Amino acid sequence: MSNDSSSEAQLKTLMKLTLVFDTAGEVLLGKGAPAMMYQAGRDAGCARLDTLGRAGDEEEALRLALNEGGEVWQVERWREPGSDGLWIEDKDRTYTWVIFRRCPLLSLARSAGSNLGGMLCQALHGYIAGSMESMLGRRADMKVGHCGPRACKILVELRP
C-alpha cells in the first residue's frame, strides 16, 4: 500500500469517526449540544495563551487564530456594503465577517452528512473565539450568519 492510499484511508476513517462523534454527541447532550460545545471550545482556546502569546490588534489575532492547519482552510474576509474597513466599530462592540470557503467540517458535511452549524462547528467557533480572546484580553465570540454546502459566513465580535 502506498503512502498516498494509506493517508487517504486514514483521512476517510478520521472523517467517519468525526461523524460518529458529531451524531453521538448531539444524541447524548440533546438540543443544548452546540452551546455546550461552543463553550468547551472557547475554554480550550482561552487556555492557549501560553502557546499563542499576545496579539497587537484585532487583525493579527484573527489571522493567527485562523492560520492553524494552513492548506486545510480557505478563509476570506467579507466587507459590509458601505463600510470603509473590514472591522466595524459599534457602540458596544467591534466586529467583522469571515467566510469559510474550505473547511474540514464543510467537507465532512458534503461527504458524510454531518450537521453544518451543529456541535462540531460550534466547538471550532468557540475555539477560535477563545484563542482570539486569549491573545487580545477582550471578550471574543463567533456567531453563525449562514452555513451552507459551499461556504459559511461567520460574525466575529469583540467586546471591551
* Phi, psi angle pair for 87, to nearest 5°: -100, 135
pLDDT the model gives residue 69 = 64
Taking the C-alpha atoms of residue 26 and residue 22, their distance in angstroms, rounded to an integer, is: 6
pLDDT tens digits along 76-122? 999 988 888 899 998 999 999 999 998 888 877 777 777 788 888 99
What pTM did the predictor assign?
0.84
Query: Whose CA is closest to 135, among 62, 39, 38, 42?
Result: 62
Taking the C-alpha atoms of residue 157 and residue 97, their distance in angstroms, rounded to an integer, is: 9
- Which residues, given as ranges, of the chain have pLDDT below 50? none
pLDDT the model gives residue 66 = 86
CB 55 within 8 A of CB 138: no
